[in-house]
Amino acid sequence: MATARGRAAAAGGRAGGGGGRAGTMSSLPEPPASRAPSRSPVRSPALSPAYGPSRCGAERRRNASDAGADLDAVQDTQLRSADLNHVIKLLEESNSKDLEKEQLKILKKVVRRFENGLPLKDIAQIIEILNLCAEKLNEQEAFTEPLCELIKLCGLPFQKKKLSDEVSYSMAVSKSIAQLGYLMRVPSSQVRIQICKCIVSFYNMEVPRKLLSGYQPTSANYKIQMAELGGLAETLVLSLALVENQLTEKLWVLKALQHLSSSGVNCKLMMKAQAASRLCLYLNGVDPSGQLVFRSSEILWNLLENTSKEEVVNQLSSLECVHALKEVFVDLLMHGYRHYDRQLRNDLLVIATLLAENPAAPMIESGFTKLLIVLATFTEVKIPNPLVKGLKLTYSYEDFELKKLLFNVIGVLSKDPCAVQLLRENDVMPALLYYVKPNQKPGFHDWSAAQYEELQLHAIAILASVAPLLVDKYLSCQANTLLLVFLEWCVGQDPFFGQGNSFHGTGGRGNKLAQMRYSLRVLRAVVSLYDDAVNLNLCDQGAISQLLDILKYAANKSKEKEDAILLEIEADILFLLSALCENDLHRKELFSYEGVDILIPFIQMDPKKLYSGLGHNRLLFSALDCLWSCVIGCYIAEDYFLEKQGIFLLLDLLALKQKNLCNIILGILVEFCDNPKTASHISSWRGEKDQTAANLLIQLWRQEELDLGVKRDQYGRIVDMKRPIASSFQKQQEVIPIPANCPSFAIMEISENIRAKLYSLLCKLGFENLPGLSAKDFVTLAIIRRYIDFKVGEVWSELCAELKEEFRPVASDEEALKVISEVSEDTGRMVAALQTEVLESQHHQEIQEEEKTYTKIQAIHKQRKMVNKSWENFLTRTSNYEALKKAKRLQENAIEASRSKSKTQNGAVHSTDIKGLGTTIGSGRLVTVESTPSQLIGGPLAVTDLAHRKPSVCEGALKKIKRVKTLDSVKTASVPVE
């Protein structure tokens, strides 16, 4: 929008330079009293009136003779003593010829006195003088020139003595500048034009060559700020009614308003005076120069930019304004031949587009809507239409912009139900489908390759908005066939390099992704209608197989470089497959093997990508939706998904515990459990830290109840026996009697959280023999198992409350309701008792395990003591010969005691002694060799030639044997003895 407007401004400059409208405006007659050079507007300097330079009185005095200069100096000295109050008093006196001459004379003195600028302290008196002159002008035309000269002084920079003067005199100055607007009531063309010139000079302030002694000029924006404070813009808009039939004066007022509208404050003031509607009505006024249309449109643009767009559009939404806008647009369209004319035409079309967005605007009633639709389609459908007879668009840049704007209007009109019939009657569908074909060569149809691609993408984008409204036309034009052929070209190997220059071409440079993206959007728009005829037409042409091929193509592209465009394409294809395969077994079978293989990588997506901002979140949801619609319900696809360990992938996603994912994943798992093979897959899944599926589901239940504000004690037990599973929101609701066909809070709550899905899934798995559960899990499981009973109790509780709110039940009914309520409470108490029993059993089991642990620790300590005692006895036998003999005797006695008392006949008696044996322990087939601890000899590498040395007693363990207290560091090895 801003671009079109900038072009119009630039066009104005170029038109002025080339003898365009500026040249026409320069021929306007200048009021004879006008001496200040004209000021050009900010937006289009070449379009301002080009008046010839005139010389003011100060310049004439500088060029006068020396004698004349001396005389002027004497008069100036006398003028400095003049009193403005005396001037005011003189002007207030009754008229006579002699008095009129005196008044005119003193006014000339005032003008000469302030020829370099007005001091701030004198402005209020000067404005009072202006008002007095204006009153006299009604009867005495001689005051016209002095009045214009005084107004011209107001265009010079004001003079200040102190820096604080700008603030001190701000109120007086703002009121004085506001009076300039009120002076527009004076019935003099010269005065009105001079006022406008004065206002324009606020925006082109020049420092005077000579300043008053002791004064300095005010800041450059001071007058602009004072004009805003005084409300000058509003007054000037109202003055348009006074100059309605005077073209020259009207153009000057518009020029002043054009400058004033550059400020947001002024635009708001102008809107109070209905500036938008007033200016729009002037668009189709007679003006050979064309300035009227240009300046009015520029002001309208400023109003749109600086104020509420809705407010401006509302003011323009009258039938008169729409008619005026239409007439000017048609005139520029049919007769405009210059570069500037076409740009101004495009700017007006943008304003018309804004009006079309307002349902209250009478665009259809005025015939403007039909005209715009015909203009948008006549070059493609080639059907003669009297509305565009004789019109031929060129291939210039301005006409290219016009074409895009017309496509945009079609998109806007598609949102208006009243315009649908016009879209149907004027061949919009064939015109847009004209672009659904490969761009085979550059410069197609005289548009450049980049321009044609931009129009093509724009048309396909608009088709996505129009196609759902015109399904009958969509099918009759075989749009599905065209789109599938176009998509086949998009994935083909044809050498085509997209320009990617436009908004719609984003991401399509050097490839066909932009074309693929918008074609899929069209299919998504029509398929989402779930119209059987459209979907059947697609599937009969092999759309499912083709979409899977495109999805595979896009997935491979994503592996090379992942961006938002590819992710959007993948998500759209998954949605299309979901919509086509839902509730149709044959289509699901077509999807099954190849589709599941493509789906698995999407479900395996790295969870970190969900926060990338590129669209992975949407892609994952689309994949899950596709899984639900295309796989579930078809045993072939389900079994293949299970074979690919798809249930494990779903549980891995569920373990992330992302609230937005849990609901859909649980729904899929519940549906999958209809397949008898699913339960075993769920039961065998193990997550992080060997977590089981049952434990995960129970954790999700606890988290959901925490989010809902369900009351539980510190152990997770039921607190409220009457409403055990009611959320905090449910408890806050008052009793409201509702019709029987409306769900109550208890029923609505089921669909608003995941507890019902968790209960259903656990019912499928069974509540017995669930692995990996703790006592806390069993406490929660007791609640889950009774979920339906508690939910029924909630419904009965609501029913009882509603009955008691409006009726008093009879005794039998009241008794029945009481019994039902007690049953619900008893269920809660029973579950609470079971939970307590589980906790007590767990506590008892923990105590038993603690005792077992303590017993084991005691046995270990006792064993260690026995080992230490045995070691000490061994050391004693080794170092004390008497102790060794005593141990020997004890050993022999033990052997003797172990022998049988009855002697066998002819039995051999074997001696237990082995002569020459030097060991201090009992002999046997195994000999335990106890080595000296390494810390005693310095480690295994301390002495490397032990095999060649005969260790002495001082190097052995006996030297430090008293330091050894335990057996922990002793290394033992068993060597078989043959």
Q: Report the chain (978 residues): mean pLDDT per 10 consecutive residues.
A: 42 36 33 33 34 36 39 39 73 73 84 84 87 82 86 87 88 91 90 93 79 80 91 93 90 94 94 93 86 92 93 94 94 88 93 93 93 91 78 86 94 93 92 87 67 90 95 94 93 72 69 90 95 94 94 90 89 96 93 93 89 87 95 93 94 91 94 92 92 94 92 89 87 79 83 92 91 91 92 87 80 85 88 90 91 94 92 87 85 81 63 65 62 58 46 40 38 38
Q: Which two tokens stand for residue 421?
A: 């019939």
Query: Which of 255, 340, 328, 230 minimizes the C-alpha distance to 286?
Result: 328
Q: Are the beta carbons of 82 and 75 closer than 8 angstroms?
A: no
Per-residue CA distances from 953 to 958, 959, 961 (Å) = 7, 7, 11
The sign of the torsion formed by the CA atoms of 88, 93, 97, 98 equals negative
In whole angstroms, give the CA distance from residue 917 to residue 335: 135
Beta-bridge partners for 923: none
Largest CA distance in the chain: 183
In whole angstroms, give the CA distance from residue 602 to residue 616: 9
Location of structure tokens 């519940």 = 670
Q: Which two tokens stand for residue 495?
A: 């050498």
Per-residue CA distances from 859 to 345, 421, 856, 864 (Å) = 102, 95, 5, 8
pLDDT at 874: 85
Query: Which of 126, 145, 142, 143 minimizes the C-alpha distance to 88?
Result: 126
Q: Which two tokens stand for residue 769?
A: 């023999």
Q: Which two tokens stand for residue 433?
A: 């489908």
Q: Report H helices in 714-786.
A: 728-732, 745-751, 755-765, 775-785
Could you tell me which residues come within 8 angstroms of residue 321 by beta carbon, excluding any fewer than 6 positions away?
277, 280, 281, 315
Query: Which of 561, 439, 449 minimizes the C-alpha distance to 507?
Result: 561
Query: Which of 581, 574, 580 minimizes the C-alpha distance to 600?
Result: 574
pLDDT at 15: 35
Q: Which two tokens stand for residue 755?
A: 């507890």
In whole angstroms, give the CA distance from residue 389 to residue 267: 40
In whole angstroms, give the CA distance from residue 668 to residue 665: 5
pLDDT at 44: 36
Query: Which of 486, 477, 493 minimizes the C-alpha distance to 543?
Result: 486
In whole angstroms, give the CA distance from residue 716 to residue 481: 61
Burial 700-719 (b: 16+ CB within 10 A, else e): bbbebbeebebebeeebbbe
Per-residue CA distances from 394 to 377, 402, 444 (Å) = 15, 10, 14
Q: Which two tokens stand for residue 855?
A: 């017993």
Beta-bridge partners for 159: 119, 217
Q: For residue 272, which amino acid is it?
A: K
Query: Which of 560, 570, 558, 451 minimizes the C-alpha distance to 520?
Result: 570
Beta-bridge partners for 565: none
pLDDT at 38: 33
Q: Are the beta carbons of 129 and 92 closer than 8 angstroms?
A: no
In whole angstroms, give the CA distance from residue 131 to residue 126: 9
Q: Residue 221: phi, psi to the nearest 5?
A: -95, 10
pLDDT at 856: 94
- Which three-class secondary structure state does DSSP give residue 159? strand
In whole angstroms, give the CA distance from residue 173 to residue 230: 8
pLDDT at 520: 96
Q: For residue 977, which amino acid is it?
A: V
pLDDT at 88: 83
pLDDT at 659: 87
pLDDT at 27: 32
Location of structure tokens 């064309």 = 290
In whole angstroms, give the CA distance from residue 669 to residue 662: 10
Q: Are the beta carbons of 57 and 112 closer than 8 angstroms?
A: yes
Q: For 68, which DSSP code? A: H
* CB-side neighbour CA atoms (13 Å) of 391: 24
Could you tell me which residues come within 8 angstroms of residue 411 by beta carbon, excluding any fewer than 6 positions away?
461, 462, 465, 466
How far from the centroid of its chain's Cα atoms is residue 461's Cα? 20
User: ∠ at Cα 367 (362, 369), nearest 5°?
Assistant: 75
Query: Which of 130, 128, 229, 124 minimizes the C-alpha distance to 172?
Result: 124
Q: Report H helices in 317-448.
A: 319-335, 339-356, 368-381, 397-413, 420-425, 428-433
Q: Are the beta carbons of 429 and 474 closer than 8 angstroms?
A: yes
Query: Which of 253, 310, 316 minimizes the C-alpha distance to 280?
Result: 316
- Which three-class secondary structure state does DSSP give residue 636? helix
Q: Are the beta carbons of 716 and 835 closer than 8 angstroms?
A: yes
Q: For 156, which DSSP code? A: S
In whole angstroms, give the CA distance from residue 356 to residue 346: 15
Looking at the chain, how many residues does it have? 978
Q: Which two tokens stand for residue 462?
A: 């608009």
pLDDT at 949: 45
In whole angstroms, give the CA distance from residue 539 to residue 551: 16
Q: Which two tokens stand for residue 544?
A: 């499912």
Location of structure tokens 């007690």 = 822
Q: Which two tokens stand for residue 395?
A: 């291939």
Strands 216-217 and 926-930: unpaired
In whole angstroms, give the CA distance from residue 530 to residue 521: 15
Q: What is the dihedral of CA 717, 721, 723, 727, to 10 degrees?
A: -30
Could you tell me which residues come within 8 angstroms of residue 953 by beta carbon, excluding any fewer than 6 positions away?
959
Q: Are the beta carbons of 237 and 243 closer than 8 angstroms?
A: no
